[in-house]
Structure 1
Amino acid sequence: MNYRKFGSTGLDVSPLCLGCMTYGTPDRGNHAWTLDEDKSRPLIKQALDAGINFFDTANAYSDGTSEEIVGRALKEFAHRDEIVIATKVFNRMRPGPNGAGLSRKAIFAEIDNSLRRLGTDYVDLYQIHRWDNTVPIEETLEALHDVVKMGKARYIGASSMHAWQFYKALHVSREHGWVEFVSMQNHVNLLYREEEREMLPLCADQGKAVIPWSPLARGRLTRDWNETTERQNTDNYGETLYKATLDADRKVIDAVASVAAARGVSRAVVALAWVAQKSPITAPIIGASKPNHLTDAVAALSLTLTTDEIAALEAPYVPHRVAGI
């Protein structure tokens, strides 16, 4: 595994990040398809054995149980100083006032809750899960600055938002001398390329790491058009991301299948290789519920797509309505 710098920071990360939304108690939270602890641990161990040192979760995944499962596994299987743990804050964790969002009160409460569940004194990357329109960005950024200065996080990052919002946050942090976002976790795959218009160029210009979520479009790029999974059948959020462009998306999926067949590799390898090769992407966030998901992800790092193959994969794309923000 060849490691790379995380944007313009000195942090070294693997070119794949294991997304841990898949791991959690199935009857907690909104994801009935998650894997319980006994089924999750071998996959986390497999990722570590493959050289992946970067793990992304969130306080809201499976009502906090994702952080618990991941924290226990990493504590047993890895040395804390060698791994990079990322988590997120924003979504609702309890009913009533101050149970969600990016206020100073919520951030201070949730970082401590995440550290307790993860079983660690600090996280390497603390990210806002979404933009909070109800809280002044100055309040959020000062609170995150203080979290870093207290030693509870090493870096801060952001997730899906408009490019103007991301740059506004960077400007406010610089204006006040606060710690600023070092990364953007956004929605990028062959079925959704709207981030290429503004966000990816902005990140390249500002030296920000890019760690896309759903690089395989929630598995849609890895199988036949009419094939579904238990997760897809119960993933209402995923349905909202792609349902408006089904005809064009089907042509993209067919193109992936064609390139994969010609190369003699799985569709997942081709689709992930496309994401991994796109500048300025640092590390796609992959989900893994089966061992071959990790095997394919590592194989994608060794597949260099040709200019003609990339053109064939990209040709069917049509503009999409902004989604995932």
Structure 2
Amino acid sequence: MDYVKLGRTGLDVSRLCLGCMSYGVPDRGTHAWTLPEDESRPFIRKAVEAGINFFDTANTYSDGSSEEIVGRALKDFARRDEIVLATKVYMRMQPGPNGGGLSRKAIFAEIDASLRRLGTDYVDLYQIHRFDYGTPMEETLEALNDVVRAGKVRYIGASSMYAWQFGKMLSISERNGWTRFVTMQNHLNLLYREEEREMLPLCQAEGIGVIPWSPLARGRLTRDWSEASKRSETDKVIPSLYSRTEEADRAVVEAVAEVAAKRGVPRAQVALAWVAQKQAVSAPIIGATKEHHLDDAIAALSLELSEEEIAALEAPYVPHAVAGFS
């Protein structure tokens, strides 16, 4: 496993981040397709043994049970000082007022709840899961600065939002001498490339580490257009991200299949290699619910796509409406 600096920090992370949304109690939250703890632990252990030191979860995944499972597994399989543990805040965790969002009250309550579930004294990377239109940016940024100063968080990051919003937040932090975002976790894959327009150039200019979510488009890039999986049939987010009737998207999926066939490798390797080779990208966030998922992801890091292959993969793409911001 190779390691890179996360953005402009001195923090070393593996070139792959294991996304842990797939690990959680199926009956808790809205992800009925998740793996329970006994089925999740082998994947986390295999990732550690493969040299992956970067793990991403969120307070909202499976109603907090993802954090619980990940925390227990990493305590058993890894040394805490070698692990880069990331989680998120924003999504609603309880009914009623102040049950979600990025207010000072919510951030202070949720970081403590995440630490309890993870079984750790600090989080390496604490990310705002989405932009909060109901809270002043200054309130959110000062609260994040304070949890860093309190020693509960080492670095802070952001997730899907408009580039102007991210740029303004970076500017506010700089003016006030507050802890600055070091990462952007955004939606980027061959079926959704809108982040190439403004967000990726902004991150490169500002030294922000990019850690894309859904680099395989929820598996759409790894199988024939007409095929489905348990997750694709039950994941309530997929319909808002990808369409099965968009001819251009179908052409992209077919291009991945063609390049993979010529290379003699699984489609997942080709799709992930495309994301990993993006100059702004530090570490794509990959999911793993089958043994070969980790094997393919690791192999993708060694797959160098030619300029001709990249052109063939990108040629069918057409502009898409913004997706993944809510």
Q: TM bucket by the smaller chain? A: over 0.9
In 1, Cα distance between equivalents of 2:236 and 2:44: 26
Partner of 2:138: 138
TM-score, normalising length: structure 2 = 0.99
SS in 2 for 1:124: strand
Structure 1 residue 285: Cα displacement: 0.3
Q: Which runs of 4+ in 1 moved over 2 A?
A: none
Question: Is 1:156–1:183's contact at 8 Å kept on the other side of the alignment?
Answer: yes
Structure 1 residue 236: Cα displacement: 2.0
In 1, Cα distance between equivalents of 2:317 and 2:84: 34
Question: Is 1:252–1:317's contact at 8 Å kept on the other side of the alignment?
Answer: yes
Partner of 2:129: 129
TM-score, normalising length: structure 1 = 0.99
Question: Is 2:244–2:250's contact at 8 Å kept on the other side of the alignment?
Answer: no
Structure 1 residue 245: Cα displacement: 6.6
Deviations 1:83-131 (A, max 9, x none): 0000000000001111100000000000000000000000000000000
In 1, Cα distance between equivalents of 2:238 and 2:45: 28
Structure 1 residue 242: Cα displacement: 1.4
Partner of 2:7: 7
Question: Is 2:33–2:235's contact at 8 Å kept on the other side of the alignment?
Answer: no
What is the one-letter code of the residue matched to 2:252?
Answer: V
SS in 1 for 2:201: helix
Partner of 2:54: 54
1:190 maps onto 2:217 in alignment: no
SS in 2 for 1:303: coil
Structure 1 residue 244: Cα displacement: 8.1
In 1, Cα distance between equivalents of 2:244 and 2:148: 41
Question: Is 1:221–1:256's contact at 8 Å kept on the other side of the alignment?
Answer: yes
SS in 1 for 2:217: coil
Matches within 5 A, 1:183-262: 183-243=183-243, 246-262=246-262
Partner of 2:318: 318
Partner of 1:97: 97
1:309 maps onto 2:315 in alignment: no
Deviations 1:31-72 (A, max 9, x none): 000000000000000111111000000000000000000000
Q: Describe the shift of the 1:155–1:324 C-alpha distance in structure 2 as closer, same or farther (beyond 3 A).
A: same
What is the one-letter code of the residue matched to 1:246?
Answer: E
Structure 1 residue 238: Cα displacement: 1.0
**Number of matched residues?**
325
In 2, Cα distance between equivalents of 1:76 and 1:256: 38
SS in 1 for 2:243: helix
In 2, Cα distance between equivalents of 1:259 and 1:313: 8
Question: Is 1:92–1:101's contact at 8 Å kept on the other side of the alignment?
Answer: yes
Question: Is 2:225–2:244's contact at 8 Å kept on the other side of the alignment?
Answer: no
Matches within 5 A, 1:63-74: 63-74=63-74
Q: CA RMSD in A?
A: 0.7
Question: Is 1:187–1:213's contact at 8 Å kept on the other side of the alignment?
Answer: yes
SS in 2 for 1:236: coil
Question: Is 1:245–1:320's contact at 8 Å kept on the other side of the alignment?
Answer: no
Question: Is 2:4–2:14's contact at 8 Å kept on the other side of the alignment?
Answer: yes
In 1, Cα distance between equivalents of 2:250 and 2:244: 12
Deviations 1:197-239 (A, max 9, x none): 0000000000000000000000000001111001000112111
Structure 1 residue 176: Cα displacement: 0.6
In 2, Cα distance between equivalents of 1:124 and 1:245: 41
Structure 2 gap segments, 5+ residues each = none
In 2, Cα distance between equivalents of 1:185 and 1:200: 11
SS in 1 for 2:231: helix
What is the one-letter code of the residue matched to 2:182?
Answer: V
In 2, Cα distance between equivalents of 1:264 and 1:244: 26
